[in-house]
Structure 1
Amino acid sequence: MKRFAIILVVLLFTLACAPLEVAKSTMDVITSSIPVSTSSPEPTTASTSTSTAAPTATLDAVKQSILYKDDFSEDSGSWTPPDDGESRFYISDGEYFVQVVKSDYSFYNLSFAAYGNFVLSVDLRHIIGDDETTGGMVIWRYKDNDNFYALTVMDNGTYYIHRFVKGTYGMLKLPTASPWLNTTGKPNTVTLVAHGDTNELYFNGHYEYSFQDASIPKGYFGMGAQPALDSEVEVAFDNLNVYQYDPGNGFTPDNPEITPTPEYQNISWQQLTRFLSEDHTNWHEYHLEDYNCMDFAIDLVANARYANISAKIVTVQFVGQPTGHAFVAFETLDRGTVFVEPQGDNTYSNVDIGNNLCDDWGEFECMGTIESVEYFGECDHAQNCTVLP
C-alpha cells in the first residue's frame, strides 16, 4: 500500500496572487481610472475531446489474452494490507472496498506485476464522501512514488487525470464533467488503454479522452480513494480485468475517432497589439479571492485562443515572497516571445530567473526577483492547471 499527497502548484496563486501596484514617482502617486466591463461575454474554448461514442470494448471469449483477472469473490490477501488507522482495504460480498478518513492524502494499493501496453477495465462505485471533492482512483504505469499516472472519478460525474514525474505533480486533464459517467452511487465501468505513449479513457463503453505522454512507459496498476480534508471517502471496485493490448484480440477497443487538438497560430507584433486593443480583459477589477492575476491570465489566454491565437499562461515565484504572479506569453513572428500583463496590457522583457520582474513601460512597481518560471497548458477559474506536453 502506498500513499501520496496531491499538492497543486497552482494553489500558490489561488491563495496569494499579488495585484499590480502603480509605480510611485518622486513627486506623487500616479493614479488611473479603469472602467469595469459589464457587457463583454466570456468566450468559449475549443474542446480537445469528442462527444462521439467510440466502439464498446466487446469481449471475445475465443481470443482471450488475459494478463490479470479478479472478481473479488475471494480474499487472496494480495489486495488487503493491514489497516493503519487512516485507511482500510477489504473484500466483502464480491467487491473490493477502500475507506479513507478525512485527509489530504490519497491511499491506494498496487499490483504485483508491471505492464507497459495493456487494456484495464474495472467497475467503480462511490459509497461515502463529498460528491465533488472525493472519489475513486485508478493508478497505472506506477514506477515509484515519484512516477505514475492517476485517474480520479467523483460521484458528481466529473473526473480528472494527473501524474507525478520525477517527483513533480502535474494535471493532464482538468476536472471535467462526462456525459458517460453515472452519478449518485451508481457503478461505472472504467477502461484504460495504454500503448506506447498513447493513453485512452472510456467510461461505460464510450470513448471519453486520450492523451500522449512518453514520461512513464511501464509500471504497476492500482486502485484507491481520494478523500478531502473535510470529508472521508469509501469506494468499491469489482470485475477487475487486465488484457494484453492487441487490436485483434476482442478485448481492445477500436481506435476512437478523436477530435484534433486545435493548432493556434503565432501572430506578428502588430497583430498582437491590435488584438490587445480590442480585448477587454484588463477592464476587470482585481479581487484577491474572486478575480486575481490567474483569472486575468486565464481569460486573456481563452480570448486569444478563441481568436485562434497561440498563448500560454506563465507563473512566477519571487525570492523571499509568499506571493506569486501570473501573466501571458505570446509567440510572435517578428519579436519572439512577448510577455503580456493582462491587468494593464503592458509587457515584460526580463522574464528570467534572477531578474527583477519590471514592466517595460515603468507604469507599475517592480514585483520582485524571479525564483522560478512555469508555463501551463490549460487552466480553469477554479485555478486547476494542466502541464504542457
Structure 2
Amino acid sequence: MKKMKSLILIALPLFLMGCSSLPLAAQLFKASPESTAVGILFQDDFSEKGSGWDRYVSEIGSTDYDHEAYHIIVNEPITDLFANPYVSYKDTVIEVKAARISGPVDNSFGVICRYQDEENFYTALISSDGYAGIFEVNDGKYKLMGHDEMIPVPAILGGTAVNLIHFECVGTSLTLAVNNEPVDTQEDKSFESGDVGLIAGTFQEPGVHIAFDDFIVRQP
C-alpha cells in the first residue's frame, strides 16, 4: 500500500467560538505524572484554551481545544491541517500523545519541527493503519525522506488507542520513534530552526478526527 502526500491545503487561523462535546478524548487520555522542568523548553496539556495554539474552523475542518486535549478535524480529502504555538527553537525533542477519535484509519497525524511558514517545515507522520514516515515540506511540496512510501510500523496501535509520537530534530538528524520503538532516522540541512506544531490529514477519504495531549518539547 503506497501512502504519499501529494497535496496540502492550509487553513489560516480563525477564532472558534464553540466546540462540540467529545467525551471520548477524556476517556482516552489519562492524567500523566508531572514532568520535571529540567530540560523542558515548552509543554502543554491543553487544559487552558488561552495557551496560544491556533483556533480555526471552516468547512475544511477545525483545529481547537476541547476536553483538555487539542483536536484536529479534516473534512476534505487529500488535505492537511496543522497548528502551532508560536515559539521558535533550533534543536528539539518533541513528544505528544495522539489518538484517532473517528474517521478513516487511512489517515496521517503527527508533529512538526523547524516550521518556517505554511509551506516549509519538517514533519513526522504516522497513520492509524500502521504506517509512518519523516517528511520535508519545501515550497508546499511533501518529500518522504529516505523511502519510496511510508513504512509499516508494528508498534503503531490501531483503533482509538493512544500512540506516543517522539520526534527528534537535532543538528541535521531527524529521528522518529513510536511508543518507544525506533522507526526511522534521516539527515537533512534545509531548516535549522523554527516553530513546532501538530498536524493531521486525509488521503482519499475525508472525516479524520485526531486528538492530542501532553505535548512536550525538550532540549536534546
Which structure ranks higher in relative contact order (CA pairs < 8 Å, sequence separation ≥ 6)?
2
The reply to whether residue 207 of structure 1 matches residue 182 of structure 2 is yes
Q: How many residues are matched?
A: 188
SS at structure 1 position matched to 2:95: strand
Counterpart selection for 1:127 from 74, 87, 101: 101
- Where do 5+ consecutive residues of structure 1 fail to align? 1-5, 9-58, 246-389
Provide the residue aligned with 1:228 in structure 2.
203
Counterpart selection for 2:67 from 88, 93, 100: 93
Provide the residue aligned with 2:115 in structure 1.
142
Provide the residue aligned with 1:159 in structure 2.
132
Using the TM superposition, give the Cα deviation of residue 111 of structure 1 relative to its aligned residue in structure 2, in angstroms.
Answer: 2.3
What's the CA shift string for 1:217-251, capped at 9, x where partnerless?
11111112102343210000000000112xxxxxx
The reply to whether residue 78 of structure 1 matches residue 55 of structure 2 is no
CA gap of 1:80–1:112, structure 2 versus 1, over 3 A, is closer
Q: Does the 8 Å CA contact 1:126/1:135 hold for their aligned counterparts? A: no
What's the CA shift string for 1:44-97, capped at 9, x where partnerless?
xxxxxxxxxxxxxxx983x71211011112211522423122121222222111
Query: Aligned partners of 1:165, 1:89: CA distance in 2, in Å?
Result: 23
1:10-25 mapped onto 2 (5 Å cutoff): none
Q: Does the 8 Å CA contact 1:198/1:211 hold for their aligned counterparts? A: yes
**RMSD between aligned residues:** 2.0
Q: Does the 8 Å CA contact 1:129/1:227 hold for their aligned counterparts? A: no
Provide the residue aligned with 2:142 in structure 1.
169
- Aligned amino acid, residue 6 of structure 2: I
Provide the residue aligned with 2:11 in structure 1.
none
- Aligned amino acid, residue 135 of structure 1: S
Query: Aligned partners of 1:99, 1:91: CA distance in 2, in Å?
Result: 11
1:310-329 mapped onto 2 (5 Å cutoff): none
- Where do 5+ consecutive residues of structure 2 fail to align? 8-33
Which is higher, the Rg of structure 1 or of structure 2? 1
Alignment TM-score, normalising by the size of structure 2: 0.78
Amino-acid identity (%) = 23
CA gap of 1:224–1:168, structure 2 versus 1, over 3 A, is closer
Query: Aligned partners of 1:64, 1:100: CA distance in 2, in Å?
Result: 36
Runs of 4+ in structure 1 off by over 4 angstroms are none
| Greater helix content | 1
Using the TM superposition, give the Cα deviation of residue 152 of structure 1 relative to its aligned residue in structure 2, in angstroms.
Answer: 2.1
Query: Aligned partners of 2:104, 2:121: CA distance in 1, in Å?
Result: 25
